[in-house]
């Protein structure tokens, strides 16, 4: 069996207009080295970056077994079950087989997969005489039942369960019949996993099954012996496929032309494939008093399936500072750096569970722990340590939040009703806390007595409470209730007060201050400086500048020496000058920082570019180990690899220290107010939290960009999985950074292109993007330097840009406007929309009420102050206690203000 590298791809066919979210950096040149892709695992989360300590053995207590046996009793003081979500890599096989058909000259290609899921074969053909076109649609007679045409270049066919088995496993397959006398030169395909949206290639390119003998071997050939030359461990003798073309013929109307002298030989080939799947487990913790002493007994049990280590400690007050408790300790316990203990849980006889019993002294406030599955995988409680209360007061407070103790059931209620009641109790508690805090700083008396610092502190508490509620119940409950947001809006924080580090005031309007061609002038900073006053008058409060560092690519996204700020956009002094100018006109400035990857200055002894120069002269320890292109000696990547340049290993202490110092240097020397974080999918959001806490930006936003969900080429209505991935990243940063709302952009594409405006309301009647779940962290946009400009990788539907701006500039979230649109014929309309937003004090948490979402029209009312509609259909806001007057009207959009 030959094992190949397989990776989900984004641009699987040169002729396809990208409908998936593009990773534009794949198109940026790197003069050092560019390579094909390999399989990488996605969605990996590292909750801790502890390194294995030197074990210090501790003698186990002799009473452990007896204590476990007597723990089951009715006097349990506290009991809680926590859900655990993790990912596991599941391996399977792709197989490809070419067989002779039943009739002479007929052949059958079979493609199958042994992994569970909803698999789609995205495929096409290339013809003998069609030079230059890799993909074309096959003749109709060659298309299996259930196939869907994808524009004019491909077919998508769902794999179906096979009646036979594959190595003892069930699998899915699709069969393609074809005539050996046709003029088809090759069959090209990629495999798509509908459940995850991932696409799988062969060695970073499309699979290619050649049917002619003159095709060059590009490394992605399947079936031809030359395609596997030099690969050790191949399973069996793979047959060549030969097609002798005696003479060329033009295709007839059916797309088939006869060819003389053709000889095909069947083959069978298989290769490994892997994907990550979500796995759900739980951990239960109970606390009771030891019968013979006043000590606490804590019993922990989990159904995690392998040897589990509990990394734990105790705390003596609300600060939750970890310390090591007094003995006795459970069996198999070691000391970790004199700061915590690590205990291997014991396996239960006759079951898959494992458990531990902890005897804890009096006077402790709480028990803290995280679970260690392996050296790189830790599980915690929604980004924080698990915390178990131990004192009487803390247990009482926890139980009051829980509602009923686990297992208790009120008369006449079902378990589901009890769960819903518990959810509402908990969220109502958080809402009441928010109300109290809001009232605290809103009251006239408090407003006179409280300092500005105290008010900011309370506002930060509100943000953390809201984030906590959202983290737990984001799948079913919006971040804020309308009632709470209404009270919050009354605060009307002045622009100088920041609600939470990295998130601004909520009233920001962002302008991207460059496009893909801006570097060509060589003096872009000077050009943009002359427009500063104009942008301020238009109403923008934040400007996003291009990457400032020396770079291999002129656009700046392949940085080398991070401290060298002489770029194609201007030099160090010009950068400082433009930042100063924007500050003078009241506009904050974001720097575009590339933290995921960095281009090396020198080659190592193997000729690989992985030695860095400049002030940060890192070696290959700073590069992740799971990208073979650059032979890094760091740890595995915590995100997706970017294959055109060395991916930085953020788990290294020296790397994080250097990056934090660099960001703080930029803040001090240049005057940047915040950051736009490039390719945020490449590293764990927890590292971003570290960087934001160190550099304390006014505002920050990450580019977390991946594929939306499609079924047979049509965007799905439900994009919850997509926005969930973005929200998970924001949550990993602890809310210190927002993210571009790629979900909203994609849904706007489908709604406007297909005249399906019903897409703009989700199943709960909320906006369907990130802005519908976590509006204060959603940066909405319709175009940027990657999607539009001269790249045009995912261009907004032409002629409908103002509908998009009418949506994002009237809705909650933080809107971002593209430079090319500001200085175009849209300028006056954009200015009018910004004026409406500012005049009515619409902010990132404004309340939206969707009043219409039908085939040809979408309408909404925001904060009861602004009404809007987009689409060719009719809508007028109803007049009751409010009277509406037209503020701005354009092609297929209209905005009203309440008078």
Give the active site residues.
678, 703
CA distances in angstroms from 296 to 22, 333, 364, 390, 624, listed in the order given: 55, 18, 9, 7, 44
Nearest to 206 by CA among 42, 3, 11, 35: 11
Give the other-Cβ count within 10 Å of 68's Cβ: 17
Output Rg (C-alpha) for the chain, integer angstroms: 30
Q: Say which DSSP state 559 is in.
A: B
Instruction: Give me the residue label for tokens 């953020």.
Output: 650
Distance in angstroms (rounded) separating the CA atoms of residues 488 and 397: 26
According to DSSP, the residues that pair with 868 across neighbouring strands are: 860, 895
Distance in angstroms (rounded) separating the CA atoms of residues 78 and 396: 9
Category of 251 on φ-ψ map: left (φ > 0), alpha (ψ -120 to 50) or beta: beta
The answer for residues whose C-beta is within 8 angstroms of residue 232's C-beta and 6 or more apart is none
Category of 284 on φ-ψ map: left (φ > 0), alpha (ψ -120 to 50) or beta: beta
DSSP 270-291: EEEEEEEEEEEEEEEEEEEE-S
CA distances in angstroms from 712 to 119, 154, 287, 716, listed in the order given: 11, 11, 52, 10
The answer for residues whose C-beta is within 8 angstroms of residue 337's C-beta and 6 or more apart is 53
Strand pairing class (119-127; 778-780)? unpaired
From the number of C-beta atoms within 10 Å of its C-beta (0-12, 13-18, 19+), residue 352 rates as exposed
Q: Say which DSSP state 2 is in.
A: -
Structure tokens at 713: 């080429």
Any idea how long the chain is?
Answer: 899
Distance in angstroms (rounded) separating the CA atoms of residues 885 and 899: 7
Distance in angstroms (rounded) separating the CA atoms of residues 189 and 219: 14
Greatest pairwise CA separation for the chain in angstroms: 96
Instruction: Report the number of secondary-structure helices (H) and strands (E) in the chain.
Output: 16, 37
CA distances in angstroms from 702 to 49, 105, 133, listed in the order given: 22, 56, 37
The answer for residues whose C-beta is within 8 angstroms of residue 614's C-beta and 6 or more apart is 560, 561, 562, 563, 564, 601
Distance in angstroms (rounded) separating the CA atoms of residues 631 and 623: 8
Distance in angstroms (rounded) separating the CA atoms of residues 344 and 332: 6
Nearest to 437 by CA among 498, 500, 487: 487
Nearest to 813 by CA among 848, 784, 860: 848
How many whole angstroms from its chain centre is CA 441?
A: 36
Structure tokens at 610: 């992985």
Structure tokens at 704: 């977390």
Name the 3-class secondary structure at 603.
strand
Distance in angstroms (rounded) separating the CA atoms of residues 427 and 477: 9
Nearest to 674 by CA among 624, 736, 743: 736
Strand pairing class (377-379; 738-740)? unpaired
Which helix (DSSP H) or strand (DSSP E) does residue 80 occupy? Answer: strand 76-100
Distance in angstroms (rounded) separating the CA atoms of residues 861 and 896: 9
Strand pairing class (866-870; 858-862)? antiparallel
């Amino acid at each position: 069996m030959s094992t190949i590298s397989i990776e989900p791809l984004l641009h699987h066919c040169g002729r396809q207009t990208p409908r998936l979210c593009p990773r534009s950096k794949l198109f940026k040149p790197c003069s050092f080295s560019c390579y094909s892709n390999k399989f990488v695992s996605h969605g990996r989360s590292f909750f801790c970056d502890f390194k294995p300590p030197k074990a210090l053995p501790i003698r186990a207590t002799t009473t452990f077994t007896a204590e476990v046996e007597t723990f089951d009793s009715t006097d349990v003081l506290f009991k809680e079950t926590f859900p655990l979500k993790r990912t596991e890599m599941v391996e399977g096989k792709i197989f490809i087989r070419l067989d002779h058909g039943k009739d002479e000259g007929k052949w059958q290609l079979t493609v199958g997969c042994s992994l569970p899921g909803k698999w789609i074969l995205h495929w096409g053909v290339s013809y003998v005489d069609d030079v230059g076109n890799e993909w074309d649609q096959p003749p109709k007679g060659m298309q299996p039942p259930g196939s869907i045409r994808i524009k004019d270049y491909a077919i998508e066919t769902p794999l179906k369960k096979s009646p036979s088995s594959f190595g003892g496993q069930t699998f899915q397959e699709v069969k393609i019949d074809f005539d050996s006398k046709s003029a088809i030169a090759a069959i090209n395909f990629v495999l798509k996993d509908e459940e995850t949206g991932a696409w799988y290639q062969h060695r970073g390119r499309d699979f290619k099954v050649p049917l002619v003998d003159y095709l060059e071997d590009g490394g992605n050939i399947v079936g031809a012996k030359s395609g596997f030359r030099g690969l050790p461990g191949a399973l069996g003798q793979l047959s060549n496929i030969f097609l002798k073309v005696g003479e060329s013929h033009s295709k007839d109307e059916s797309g088939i032309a006869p060819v003389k002298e053709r000889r095909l030989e069947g083959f069978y080939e298989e290769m490994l494939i892997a994907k990550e799947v979500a796995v759900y487990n739980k951990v239960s913790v109970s606390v009771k008093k030891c019968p013979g002493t006043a000590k606490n007994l804590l019993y922990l049990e989990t159904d995690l399936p392998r040897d589990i280590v509990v990394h734990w400690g105790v705390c003596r007050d609300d600060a939750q500072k970890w310390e090591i408790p007094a003995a006795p300790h459970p069996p198999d316990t070691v000391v970790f750096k004199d700061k915590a203990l690590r205990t291997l849980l014991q396996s239960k006889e006759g079951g898959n569970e494992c458990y531990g019993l902890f005897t804890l002294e009096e006077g402790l406030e709480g028990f803290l722990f995280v679970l260690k599955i392996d050296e790189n995988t830790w599980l915690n409680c929604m980004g924080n340590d698990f915390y178990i209360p131990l004192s009487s007061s803390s247990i009482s407070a926890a139980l009051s939040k829980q509602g009923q103790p686990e297992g208790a059931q009120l008369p006449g209620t079902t378990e589901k009703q009890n769960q819903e009641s518990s959810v509402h109790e908990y969220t109502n508690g958080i809402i009441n806390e928010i109300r109290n805090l809001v009232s605290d700083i809103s009251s006239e008396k408090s407003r006179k007595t409280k300092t500005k610092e105290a008010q900011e502190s309370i506002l930060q508490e509100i943000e953390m409470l809201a984030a906590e509620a959202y983290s737990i119940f984001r799948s079913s409950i919006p971040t804020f209730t309308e009632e709470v947001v209404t009270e919050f809006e009354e605060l009307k924080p002045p622009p100088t007060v920041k609600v939470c580090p990295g998130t601004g005031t909520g009233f920001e309007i962002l302008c991207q201050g460059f496009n893909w061609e801006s570097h060509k002038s060589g003096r872009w900073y000077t050009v943009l400086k002359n427009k500063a006053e104009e942008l301020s008058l238009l109403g923008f409060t934040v400007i996003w500048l291009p990457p400032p560092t020396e770079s291999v690519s002129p656009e700046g996204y392949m940085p080398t020496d991070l401290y060298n700020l002489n770029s194609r956009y201007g030099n160090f002094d010009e950068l400082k000058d433009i930042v100063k100018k924007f500050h003078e006109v009241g506009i904050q400035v974001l720097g575009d920082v590339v933290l995921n990857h960095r281009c090396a200055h020198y080659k190592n002894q193997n000729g690989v570019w992985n030695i860095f120069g400049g002030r940060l002269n890192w070696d290959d320890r700073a590069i992740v180990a799971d990208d073979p292109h650059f032979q890094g000696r760091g740890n595995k990547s915590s995100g997706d690899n970017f294959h055109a340049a060395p991916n930085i290993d953020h788990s290294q202490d020296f790397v994080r220290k250097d990056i934090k110092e660099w960001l703080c240097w930029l803040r001090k020397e240049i005057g940047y107010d915040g950051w736009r974080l490039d390719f945020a999918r490449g590293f764990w959001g927890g590292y971003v939290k570290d960087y934001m806490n160190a550099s304390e930006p006014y505002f920050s936003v990450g580019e977390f960009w991946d594929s939306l969900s499609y079924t047979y080429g049509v965007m799905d209505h439900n994009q919850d999985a997509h926005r969930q991935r973005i929200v998970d990243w924001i949550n990993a940063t602890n809310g210190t950074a927002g993210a571009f709302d790629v979900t909203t952009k994609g849904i706007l594409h489908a709604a406007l292109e297909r005249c399906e405006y019903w897409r703009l309301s989700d199943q709960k009647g909320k906006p369907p993007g990130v802005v519908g779940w976590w509006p204060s962290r959603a940066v909405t946009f319709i175009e940027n330097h990657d999607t539009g400009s001269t790249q045009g990788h995912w261009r907004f539907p032409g002629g409908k840009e103002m509908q998009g701006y009418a949506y994002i500039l009237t809705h909650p979230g933080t809107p971002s406007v593209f430079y090319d649109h500001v200085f175009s014929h849209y300028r006056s309309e954009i200015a009018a929309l910004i004026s409406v937003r500012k005049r009515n004090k619409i902010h990132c948490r404004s309340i939206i009420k969707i009043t219409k979402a039908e085939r040809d029209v979408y309408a909404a009312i925001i904060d009861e102050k602004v009404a809007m509609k987009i689409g060719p259909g009719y809508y007028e806001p109803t007049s009751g206690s409010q009277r509406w007057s037209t503020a701005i009207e354009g092609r297929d959009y209209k905005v009203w203000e309440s008078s």
